[in-house]
Amino acid sequence: MTTGSLPLLGPRLRAILRRRSYRSFRPDAPPADAVRALRAAATTAPSVGGRRSGRVVVLDDPDVVGRLPRAVMGGLVGKINPWLLKSHPPLFLLAVGDSAAGLRDGDRHWYNVDAALAGQLVVLEAAGRGLGSCWVAGFHERSVTAVAGLRDGERPLAVIPVGYPAVGPDSGGSWVGRAWDAAAQRLVSARRKPLERLAYRGRFGVPFMPHEVPWAERGVGQGDETPWPGLGPLRPTPAFDGRPVTEPQLAVLLECARWAPSAENSQIARHVVLEGREAVAALTAAAFPGTALEREALPPLALACLAAPFPVTARTREQPFFLIDVPIAVANLLVAAAELGLGWQVAFRFDHRAVAAHLGVPDDHRVVALVGLGTPVDGPHDGPPPAPSQLHPPE
């Protein structure tokens, strides 16, 4: 463990911490450059194996936008979101996956990961620009697919309305939408679990007690008000220079994961923190048996990201929430790491059972991702091969 001072809240950290779900929008549409930035964030998202099995579509055609709320509400499951009829978003994001040809291992369809990561990156780009959003997984799939005109074999996994949040009676939003928003915030999203229930040190079950929790409340704390610079491309680092991640940086990273949105605010994402190259090497050996790894190339810190059980386990059979909610939290982690000047590598495809056994993870939890973090080596790297990173930026 190393100490250091608390980092200032840069614009991307502020966007992560201040983002919250909005379900009622002002009538004014975002400017064209904002819509372009959302599209760019969607297309620069990294994907598992560089395969782009999942993607995010930005829908701003007024005809499609006008028809989507009723499409969402079709069927039984969509009826849980009646507020959408009164929320009047100027645009929608659709997180979609290639069910037919996307990368998959057994029943793990990696399109969920690609689309969840891309979706959260666009949500953060929107938040940085003052735009509100709300992930919606309760919708009628056939109607949404038809209205959005998806490609053959593609399936939507989330619909995300986006617009300037309607806050207060003079905002131009409907009172139904604003009342729904206020109730959801008070009854659902306000019940955030404390960090020590979500993160563990060294092994599952050992609570991560940060020496200092920087922000117990959402989005408050110190920080400048630098204008939004844009999310920027998210690229894995080829190598780490071995300098440790400081304790305050670690606390900030985990706090950013904690504030990620999750279905029904279930907060199923859990993180086991492994500190030091010895611990990371042992984890890596369990995850990638038979792979020769250069110890010098390993990061000084790794997080094993898990999913805790929750009664609502899946949107559909091939769209389990552990492959959506945990990657959303990982997206927050990666954006926060980049803002803190840290490099990262992420793997989703490894021996999940061996990692669970290695970390003492109970049978009812699932291991989802391994995130390596540390100071990136400057300039081109011609040393030993990098640790396995399966999250690739687009070519």
Ligand X SMILES: Cc1cc2nc3c(=O)[nH]c(=O)nc-3n(C[C@H](O)[C@H](O)[C@H](O)COP(=O)(O)O)c2cc1C
- The site for ligand X (CB under 6 A) is made up of 20-21, 81, 134-138, 158, 184, 188-189, 261-265, 324-325, 328
Which one, 75 or 276, has the nearer CB to ligand X?
Answer: 75
Report, in Å, the least distance between residue 349 CB and ligand X. Answer: 22
Which one, 188 or 357, has the nearer CB to ligand X?
Answer: 188
Which one, 21 or 99, has the nearer CB to ligand X?
Answer: 21
Report, in Å, the least distance between residue 325 CB and ligand X. Answer: 6
Return the sign of the alpha-carbon dihedral for residues 362, 363, 365, 369: positive
Report, in Å, the least distance between residue 313 CB and ligand X. Answer: 12
Which one, 234 or 328, has the nearer CB to ligand X?
Answer: 328
Which one, 159 or 373, has the nearer CB to ligand X?
Answer: 159
Report, in Å, the least distance between residue 246 CB and ligand X. Answer: 27
Which one, 201 or 271, has the nearer CB to ligand X?
Answer: 271
Report, in Å, the least distance between residue 135 CB and ligand X. Answer: 3
Report, in Å, the least distance between residue 369 CB and ligand X. Answer: 16
